[in-house]
Amino acid sequence: AQSVTQLGSHVSVSEGALVLLRCNYSSSVPPYLFWYVQYPNQGLQLLLKYTSAATLVKGINGFEAEFKKSETSFHLTKPSAHMSDAAEYFCAVRKATGANSKLTFGKGITLSVRP
């Protein structure tokens, strides 16, 4: 079974600083990997996805993530944090592209941005 691990529950950065949110995966087959963001009192929005094409994936709002098979990682980064980036971030893994394949989420990381 596939799973993801997000170390830590809370990350705090200053506005303008680098954002790094870590995600490690475990999967018996090449995975599809996703980062979702959840703003307060809202549903989940897809930030970006890795689907076995380019290992460096660019998403919305200036975020990007790099798939590193040797490290089984898919860390999310943004060069310069903005106050509006404060939210909950979830890493997720999916075994196959079939519509009936489950999406398994990590426990999430809360990002706070200090002025």
Partner 1 sequence: SAVISQKPSRDICQRGTSLTIQCQVDSQVTMMFWYRQQPGQSLTLIATANQGSEATYESGFVIDKFPISRPNLTFSTLTVSNMSPEDSSIYLCSVGVLREGQGTSLAGELFFGEGSRLTVL
Choice from 19, 37, 90, 111 touching partner 1 (CB under 8 A): 90
SS3 letters across 41-93: CCCEEEEEEECCCCCEEECHHHCEEEEEHHHCEEEEEECCCCHHHCEEEEEEE
Q: How far is the CB of 43 from partner 1 (least distance, A)?
A: 4
Applying the rule CB under 8 A, the residues between 45 and 84 that interact with partner 1 are 45-46, 49, 51
Residue 9 DSSP symbol: S
Q: Is residue 26 close enough to count as binding partner 1 by CB under 8 A?
A: no
Contacting positions for partner 1 (CB under 8 A): 32, 34, 36, 41-46, 49, 51, 90, 94, 96-108
